[in-house]
Amino acid sequence: MQHTAGELAHMLKGVVEGNSQVVVNALAKIENASTGSLTFLSNPDYEGYLYTTGASVAIVPTAFQPTQALPSSLVLIRVEDSYAAFAKLLEVASASMALPRTVHPAAVISANAEVHEDVHIGPLVVIEDGAVVGAGCEIHAHVTVGRHVKIGENSTLHSGVRVLANCIIGKNCILQAGAIIGSDGFGFAPQAGDGYTKVPQTGNVILQDNCEIGAATTIDRATLGSTIVGEGVKLDNQIQVAHNCTIGAHTVIAAQTGIAGSTSIGSGCMIGGQVGFAGHLKIADGVKIAAQSGVTTSIKEPNSIWQGTPATPIKDYQKQQIALRNLSRHRLMNRLEQLEKNQRNTRPIA
């Protein structure tokens, strides 16, 4: 990646403040950027680094006003949203690192699979009967693409991904290392005596377009029908999505969240890390749930915010926490003082 400040400003619809002919060839964090690199300022907590940065170019918000002297060699590009602008440049840099369109000789591809010629297939990849891999895909080393799986155009499957039989991956999806799509759901029927009988899981998983699935995340196939992850959903690492769940479009879920079977999460939700969902729940659109909450009942109010275990509306949760603090601070202390007073009053006189 090598561009002048002027070229970058044109790409980002920004305005250059300084020498528009300065050339940058790398992206860098503001704390340790050096000459020839480009950085950005979005979080005000990092403003101090801007006055000492070694970067040649910095992307800043349009309204930013420096409170100290900037380095004389630093060129600014002012944009409406500096974080979004830098993210766009990261996309450009990532695209320039695309892998060559080749099929490794150690890959095993069924004669009955349909693999577009414009793809990258890494070593020890297995693509089974009836699978379809679209144009522009990157299938990295040790990936398994099961029977009759469909992978949409321009999707990337990183090392160790498993997409099992009959699952469907949309266009422009990213599956990070070790993600497993379409393993059996946790279905067991208790017997009259001891033990359980396994319930066959005959459905699949459908990932719609533009999803990203984090490393070591697992999404189980449906018992019947499909487990569905909507368009633009972003799942962090180590998340468990059980059989027959649905996740609405553009919902984001942080790491180590677990979603029990047949739960439906709406569109545009934001779920913190380590949240647990009981099964067969319905979560309305736009709901936000704080980290480490336990959701045991359906949430019917759109755009509401919940916290705690069991999860409650956040204002109720905050009132509960204040009451608990007051209880421990006042009532228990008063009780202890009363016990000490009673003990002194009953102590025998020598």
Strand boundaries in 178-225, DSSP class E: 180-183, 188-190, 196-198, 204-207, 212-213, 218-220
Distance CA 18, CA 275 (A): 47
Residue with tokens 């930013």: 64
In 3D space, the residue among 74, 15, 21 whose CA is nearest the CA of residue 50 turns out to be 74
Q: Which residues have C-beta within 8 Å of that of residue 48, sequence separation ≥ 6? A: none
Residue type (1 letter), 130: G
Residue type (1 letter), 108: V
Give catalytic status of residue 280 as yes or no.
Answer: no
DSSP code for 329: I
Q: Which of 140, 148, 243, 250 is catalytic?
A: 243
Residue with tokens 């659109």: 285
Q: What residues are paired with 3 via a beta bridge?
A: 24
Q: Which long-range contacts (CB under 8 A, 24 or more apart) does 274-280 make?
A: 276/309, 279/242
Distance CA 304, CA 287 (A): 5
Distance CA 276, CA 9 (A): 44
Tell me phi and psi for residue 120, to 5 degrees.
-115, 125
User: Which residues are annotated as catalytic?
Assistant: 243
